[in-house]
Chain A
Amino acid sequence: METMMSVLVGVLVTVGTYLVLSRSLIRVILGTAIYSHAANLLILVMGGLKGGAAPLLGEEATSYTDALPQALILTAIVISFGVTAFFLVLAYRTYRELGTDDLDQLRGMNDDK
């Protein structure tokens, strides 16, 4: 199970990297979103995927799944949610102001002015 999930994380990182390196700004943002999915999945996998009840004491099972990675992921999801929302608005604003979403045209270093 862990092996399969690790391969999936690998695929997600590949896709994310490919998108982040593209020219269109919206594809870059989608790439970062996929990155954060990969990161969250990896935390879950590295916490171990052994069987066990959901971490609720009411379940009264003999073993539970690890609760810590779940708490970490929950925090990471919220943070990446906030950052992605900001990033999308920033991209929208940039598109409105500068009239392009092509990263090559956003280069200008102001050295020649």
Chain B
Amino acid sequence: MNNLVILPMILPVVIGVFLVFFQRFVQVQRWISLLSLIASTGVSAYILYHVQHEGIMRLDFGGWAPPFGISFVADSFSALLVVTTCLTSIFSLVYAFSSIGEDREKMYVYPLIQLLIAGVNGSFLTADMFNLFVCFEIMLLASYALITLGGTKQQLREAIKYVLINVVASSLFLFAIAYLYGTVGTLNFAHLSLRIAETGQTPLLTTIGILFLIVFSLKAGLLLYIWLPGSYSAPPTAIAALFGALLTKVGIYALFRTFTLLFYHEPTITHTLIGIMAAITMIGGSIGAVAYNDIQKIVAYNVVISVGFILTGLAVFTPAGIEGSIYYLVHDIVAKALLFLLAGTIFTLTATNRLERISGLIRNYPLFGWLFFITMISLAGIPPLSGFIGKVLVAQGAIENQSYVLLAIALISSLFVLYSLLRVFRNCFWGETIISEESAVPLKAGMLIPCVLLTAISFGLGLGVEGISAYVSDAAHTLMNPDVYIEAVLSEGS
């Protein structure tokens, strides 16, 4: 029964390896990778349901009880993120079918996507610090290959920076693991948490915590986001959507895990630091989002703003704040994938990314225009849509914690999100059309349908908040009470 926990990771790995043998058979690759992701979504949804009713699920590899073996642990937080990841990547994959081009399809793009998703799911589910490093590397290696695949000049140029920054971050991760192992003598999350609580969080451990903060911030784009806008505008749309939706979220997940489970004893140091970093991230992201006339750049800076916003919830460290962050995290995976797909579709239609060269798209593509509008107000956090509840709860958390400066910056950054996307909407969709009635190419259904379905999910998340609220509050409860997690992992038998 508990063996199910491994499936969201092992299924994409096996399918990814299997697909390598079908290099020439594009249709086979498409169908198998689609089925694999649907199956992963189904399994992870069942895991989420099971965790909710029967408690945290744990799988000890090889029958070695923690802390000696490696375990996979699915609590509500992990399971929720795995479900969202699998579900969102289905639509990016479908979008890739009609947009990515046969050259790339024959150069292993589908196996690499599967491996990317395996790395992401593994990072969400693992309960061991070094295993987290390994899952990060699985994900990063797949993303290195995906960012360079096709080998255009811009891709190569951006890939060098992206690979360099991540290699350095991985080395720092190893340094941090070495210090942690030297100080505490274990690598299992639950056991680490127990030992850190026993010795009290000494200044040395706080320093190690800050080193982890730097490592995961590099991955998540918290304050150290300089690499992000360039890298995310280089790859093809479907790949960029996967990157924008998933890669930073893994860093955010690691930050949440580390600073709620391990280093939570000195919040005046660590969480204040996170708060300052989140504030600067939101300010920097807002400036970037309004400064550029390039749609890809605007979208990439929106990723930066949302990273800062999600980490605000961790910085205030109250139940409401954490719960808000989880809602926003789930919403943001869906909405960022959608935003990247829409921005990429604009590029496909007009062959340019410059705002001033595009106008009047809504005359030829009304449905597409309104999809962009809905995405925009969803990201800004207008009530009936999915971004609202997360923003409200994070704001509530900030008020409870009396961090009014952070609250003000978070709310003003929402205005900047709205303004930057409204600028895109006003420029590209209103005004005189640049495409005449006759020369308008109909939008491919394969591009439009994933966007429509993702918008529907965003609506569903907004209107059906009560449907997922049980899971989210359970996830927040586990994060705020590390004992629940420790007990589930270190208890005898399973």
Which of A's residues lie within 8 Å of B, judged by CB? 16, 20, 25, 28, 32, 35-36, 38-40, 42-43, 45-48, 68-69, 72, 75-76, 79-80, 82-83, 86-87, 90-91, 93-94, 97-98, 103, 106, 108-111
Are A72 and B177 in contact, with the CB atoms below 8 A?
Answer: yes
Distance of A76 Cα from B133 Cα, bound (Å): 9
B residues near A86, Cβ cutoff 8 Å: 141, 144-145, 163
Distance of A38 Cα from B227 Cα, bound (Å): 24
Q: Which of B144, B171, B181, B187 contacts A39 (CB 8 A)?
A: B171
Q: Which of B157, B160, B187, B294 contacts A108 (CB 8 A)?
A: B157
Are A98 and B167 in contact, with the CB atoms below 8 A?
Answer: no
The yes or no answer to B65 lying at the interface (CB within 8 A) is no
Distance of A86 Cα from B164 Cα, bound (Å): 11
A residues near B137, Cβ cutoff 8 Å: 79, 83
A82's nearest neighbour on chain B, judged by CB, is B141
The yes or no answer to B222 lying at the interface (CB within 8 A) is no
B152's nearest neighbour on chain A, judged by CB, is A97
Chain B residues touching A, range: 35 or more
Known: A76-B174, A98-B153, A111-B294. Is A90-B163 also a contact (CB below 8 A)? yes
Known: A39-B178, A46-B181. Is A93-B156 also a contact (CB below 8 A)? yes
Distance of A46 Cα from B144 Cα, bound (Å): 31
Are A87 and B182 in contact, with the CB atoms below 8 A?
Answer: no
Known: A20-B164, A87-B167, A97-B151. Is A43-B157 also a contact (CB below 8 A)? no
B164's nearest neighbour on chain A, judged by CB, is A28
Distance of A101 Cα from B133 Cα, bound (Å): 30
Interface residues of B in 161-207 (CB under 8 A from A): 161, 163-164, 167-168, 170-171, 174-175, 177-179, 181-182, 187
Q: At the interface, is chain A mostly helix, strand, loop or mixed?
A: helix
Are B153 and A35 in contact, with the CB atoms below 8 A?
Answer: no
7 A-B pairs (CB sep. < 8 Å)? A20-B168, A38-B175, A48-B182, A72-B130, A86-B145, A87-B164, A111-B294
CB distance from A77 to the nearest CB of B (A): 11
Are A97 and B178 in contact, with the CB atoms below 8 A?
Answer: no
Distance of A106 Cα from B164 Cα, bound (Å): 13
Distance of A72 Cα from B181 Cα, bound (Å): 11
Tell me which of A79, A80, A87, A97 has the highest count of chain B C-beta atoms within 10 A of its own C-beta. A79
Tell me which of B145, B178, B182, B187 has the highest count of chain A C-beta atoms within 10 A of its own C-beta. B178
CB distance from B461 to the nearest CB of A (A): 34
Are B153 and A97 in contact, with the CB atoms below 8 A?
Answer: yes
A residues near B134, Cβ cutoff 8 Å: 75, 79
A residues near B175, Cβ cutoff 8 Å: 38-39, 42
Tell me which of A32, A40, A91 has the highest count of chain B C-beta atoms within 10 A of its own C-beta. A32
A residues near B117, Cβ cutoff 8 Å: none
A94's nearest neighbour on chain B, judged by CB, is B156
The yes or no answer to B230 lying at the interface (CB within 8 A) is yes
Closest 7 A/B residue pairs (Cβ): A46-B182, A39-B174, A35-B171, A43-B178, A46-B178, A42-B178, A94-B156
The yes or no answer to B148 lying at the interface (CB within 8 A) is yes
